[in-house]
Amino acid sequence: MKLHTLKPAPGSTKNQKRIGRGTGSGRGGTSTRGHKGAQSRSGYSRKAGFEGGQMPLQRRVPKFGFKNPGKVVFKVLNLDDLQKLAETHGSATMDLAFFQSHGLISKKDKIKVLGRGELNKGISISAHAFSDSAKDSIEKAGGSTNQVS
């Protein structure tokens, strides 16, 4: 086998339609585009959502609700998650860089620590927000909380 002998498998390719090559070809004249109108002319491109003049779905369906541009979305970490991290990595301090390096958050994420589970040892934790129960549990276990802005 050599490069110059390669060709597609039989039946795997079709011949291209030769359009606009005279009336005898059967595809001359209007070149399969029909008569007049935008689609018959060069440069035509249909707008996104255009439905042939019918009222588009996007305008037929009623709009409702509100998207708050100022909403703050937190990534949630529970105490049992932090306990597992402390056991596997043996770290006494957990800050944003620690969480990021272990793939729990990305650079722009904000963290809120919630109170599900228990902590067995004192850990110093830095996060953007803490629930009251989480804060109490961390301090009972001998740890500390640091709220980052």
DSSP 24-80: GGTS-TTTTS-SSSGGGSTT--PPTT--TTSPPHHHHSPP-----TT---EEEEEHH
**Given this model, what pLDDT does residue 6 score?**
96
**Given this model, what pLDDT does residue 122 score?**
85
**Given this model, what pLDDT does residue 89 score?**
82
pTM (2 decimals)?
A: 0.57
Q: What is the mean pLDDT of each successive set of 10 residues along the chain, which is 149 residues long? A: 94 94 93 92 93 94 93 92 86 87 89 90 90 92 88
Amino acid 9 reads A
**Given this model, what pLDDT does residue 33 score?**
94
**Given this model, what pLDDT does residue 119 score?**
86
The pair of three-digit structure tokens given for residue 105, joined into one six-digit string: 């958050």
Full set of structural domains in the chain with CATH: 74-147 (3.100.10.10)
* Cβ–Cβ < 8 Å for 133, 98: no
Q: What angle do CA 122, 123, 127 make, to 5 degrees?
A: 145
Whole-angstrom distance, CA of residue 136 vs CA of residue 116: 12
